[in-house]
Amino acid sequence: MSLKIFINGKLLDKDDAKISVYDHGLLYGDGVFEGMRCYNGRVFKHREHLDRLWMSARAICLEIPMTKEQMAHAVEKTLAVNSVVDGYIRLVVTRGAGTLGLNPDKTSDPQVIIIADAIELYPDELYVKGLSIVTAATIRNHPAALSPRIKSLNYLNNILAKIECIRTGHDEAIMLNHKGEVAECTGDNIFLIKAGKLYTPPLDAGILEGITRNVVLDLAREAGIKVFEIPLTRHDVLTADEVFLTGSAAEVAPVSEVDHRAIGNGRPGPITLDLKDRFHKYVRGE
């Protein structure tokens, strides 16, 4: 059965799902998106993802041509028609087709696209042995220029850092901010464990406020782990007892090596594994 893609109220075969080459989402990365997970037929943190999508759209003066309730229904419909029970959903809203100039007032018909499919961000074995990551030379965009809390279609900053890690044989890349502090990875938030305490960069370090990040923070507090959202340096990462990443696609991914240096004993640590287990039980309602 051909995968069905939702575009503006219609479910189209994957090969027939097309938008205009004049769409500003293609020409300029002018649009917003969300990536969500589905577990046991339920969209994980559906409302939170839609709230963030609408916030991103509002920040770039983009009017989404449907309500949140209509979007939620469209997501459920797309999952059902593709028989996706455990999978990944990508919501995309573009500015719509316009002219070759930048003027957004000359665009019309914003495109709402929903894709429901399987995803494997990292191979299963990396969750057992841990990821190898590297610090990228490419830094995060200055937050005063473009807020990292906007999930825009322009991901070139992240892609350049991803190219660095791929070409050096690593699984992910840490991106520093304009102050030289740890911000996040190319698509995931980063956490450290030091002396039994959990550390992660604060929002003002220039990071996306990850929905999985927030869930893990809550799970850690429930487990009695002290949590600190404070500025972190590369030194903090390299001397941590444990490191892990979080994201909708990545879930909770252990890190065993950073910049060719073993983290802890070079294997996923006990607190990381415990939080990973707690997260899996949480998303499946156990």
- Tokens at residue 255, please? 């890190």
- Tokens at residue 218, please? 């809550």
> Cβ atoms within 10 A of the Cβ of 260, count?
9
User: What is the SS3 assignment for 57?
Assistant: helix
Active site residues: 151
Beta strand 112-117 pairing with 4-7: antiparallel
Asked whether the beta carbons of 175 and 184 are under 8 A apart, the reply is yes
The torsion region of residue 246 among left (phi > 0), alpha (psi -120 to 50) and beta comes to beta
Q: Where are the beta strands (DSSP E) in 4-94?
A: 4-7, 10-13, 31-39, 42-43, 87-94
**Residue found under tokens 């004993």:** 265
